[in-house]
Amino acid sequence: MTATSSTSSSTTPTTAAQYLSISYTERLASAGIEASVGTVGDSYDNAAAEAVNRLYKKELIWPKGPWTGLDAVEYATLEWVDWYNNRRLHSWCHDQPPAEHEALYYATNQQPTSPDPAANTLH
């Protein structure tokens, strides 16, 4: 599906995917969320996102369905994300849950101090 963009002075067709990308970017901005700092379509960002999405579907969506409704999927997703971030064992973290590994890291590594608290943030 293509359409001519009304916001552009050129006659280059705009695809539905481009409209979705614009809508997604606007939604992130309205929620106060910054988009990835990678380049657009960065294969590393896409590969990581696709891997987690596939794992989520394989471990939760496909085996637990059919679902009774959107609320059931949303609640199960929240539980899965909590498990994924806080309790799953991860080999890279020496078979510790990521949250436990992160807490141990910060407990054993001194944080840099700065007179300006904003200097210690990533953004």
Question: Do 30 and 55 fall into the same domain?
Answer: no
Which token pair is 112? 């840099």
Question: Do 9 and 59 fall into the same domain?
Answer: no
Which residues are CB-neighbours of 4 under 8 A, at least 6 positions away?
11, 13, 14
Whether 65 shows a pLDDT value over 60: the answer reads yes
What mean pLDDT do residues 47-62 have?
90
In three-state secondary structure terms, 115 is coil
pLDDT of residue 5: 44
Question: Do 70 and 103 fall into the same domain?
Answer: yes
Domain that holds residue 82: 42-111
Question: Do 103 and 46 fall into the same domain?
Answer: yes
- The full DSSP string for 8-77 is -SS--EEEHHHHHHHHHHHHHHHTT-PPPSSPTT-HHHHHHHHHHHHHHIIIIIHHHPSPS-HHHHHHHH
Task: Using pLDDT thresholds of 50, 70 and 90, give the confidence band for residue 79.
Answer: very high
Q: Would you say residue 119 lies in a domain?
A: no
Residues forming a β-bridge with 14: 3
Whether 12 shows a pLDDT value over 80: the answer reads no
pTM of the shown model = 0.51
Task: Using pLDDT thresholds of 50, 70 and 90, give the confidence band for residue 61.
Answer: very high
Domain count, the chain: 2
What mean pLDDT do residues 3-31 have?
65
What mean pLDDT do residues 78-104 have?
89
